[in-house]
Amino acid sequence: MSYPVEMQPTEVKGFTPSSSQWSSDVMDCCEDTSICLCGGFVPCILACRIAKDYGECCCLPCLFGTTVAMRTGMRERYHIPGSICNDCVCLTFCSPCTLCQMARELKARQ
């Protein structure tokens, strides 16, 4: 015998998953000298290192658009607010600095 539904579930108001911020800003490149030098002179190697530290294949950054996907995934994983559009703009106009920020974030979270 089944019982009739007397009350519908309601939305829980005021609950948001714990969100955080980036541990450093995009322009804080000089916070970590080794990451800064790598990002400034050989950003492709830094991107491969980020992919490896993120848990992906180190060759992932060789494919178009995957760095944006990695940054977006990193924001989702660590509950950092932002948008895909913001990720794309940062990586398009300030790629080395953005890669440095991602590397510092992974280093701070591990």
Tens digit of each residue's pLDDT (9 = 90 or more) over 72-103: 999 999 999 999 999 999 999 999 999 999 99
Q: Judge whether residue 2 has pLDDT over 90.
A: no
3-class DSSP state of 36? helix
Is 51 a residue whose pLDDT tops 60? Answer: yes
Distance CA 99, CA 107 (A): 12
Q: Is the pLDDT of residue 49 over 70?
A: yes
Q: 61 burial class (0-12, 13-18, 19+ CB within 10 angstroms)?
A: buried
Instruction: Output Rg (C-alpha) for the chain, integer angstroms.
Output: 19
What pTM was estimated for this model as a whole? 0.81
Confidence category of residue 20, pLDDT binned at 50, 70, 90: confident
